[in-house]
Amino acid sequence: MHLVIRPAIVEDIRALLDLWARAGAEPTHTDDQGSLTRLLARDPDALLVAVDEHGRVIGSVIAGWDGWRGSIYRLVVAPEHRRAGVGRRLLGAAEDRLSAARAVRLHAVVVATDERALGFWQASGWQQQAERVRFVLG
């Protein structure tokens, strides 16, 4: 399969939101046009998409950099393209982006009840930190 990984553009947002819903990504209150438009305006390279040979968005990952720590969110692959290496390629692109920004510590937010996601991350070479708890506001 021919696959291109590139930074998302505003015109990709509708396809991204559709992908996240179709792929069963846990919805959040920032899954909307305005939030993604603001992300792209603030950090145009943070949101990466995997695009197939037909120009369809089939995967995504957010590789955020705050100047101190790299954060990975929304690693999502369309159900019909799973287990074909798309997720690994997206993760590699996110790691490359954060490495180029000189991030020396990365962390990923993973839904604890998503068995497919946990399996992916457990096989990725990343280390799960059971002693950390995440708190959120909003």
CB atoms within 10 A of CB 111: 12
The residue with tokens 């590139």 is 6
Q: If 0-12 CB within 10 Å is exposed, 13-18 middle and 19+ buried, where does residue 59 land?
A: buried
Confidence class for position 90, pLDDT limits 50, 70, 90? very high
Owning domain of residue 7:
3-122
In a domain, 63, yes or no: yes
- Residues constituting the chain: 138
In a domain, 91, yes or no: yes
Say what the pLDDT of residue 13 is. 97
In a domain, 133, yes or no: no
In a domain, 136, yes or no: no
Say what the pLDDT of residue 135 is. 82
Whether residue 133 has pLDDT greater than 90? no
Dist. CA 82–CA 102, nearest whole Å = 30
The residue with tokens 């920004």 is 101
Say what the pLDDT of residue 27 is. 85
Say what the pLDDT of residue 111 is. 86
Helices (H), the chain: 13-22, 33-42, 86-100, 115-122
| CATH number of the domain residue 18 falls in | 3.40.630.30
In a domain, 98, yes or no: yes
The residue with tokens 């287990």 is 83
In a domain, 131, yes or no: no
Confidence class for position 131, pLDDT limits 50, 70, 90? confident
pTM exceeds 0.75, yes or no: yes
- Domain count for the chain: 1
Pair of tokens at residue 15:
């396809």
In a domain, 13, yes or no: yes
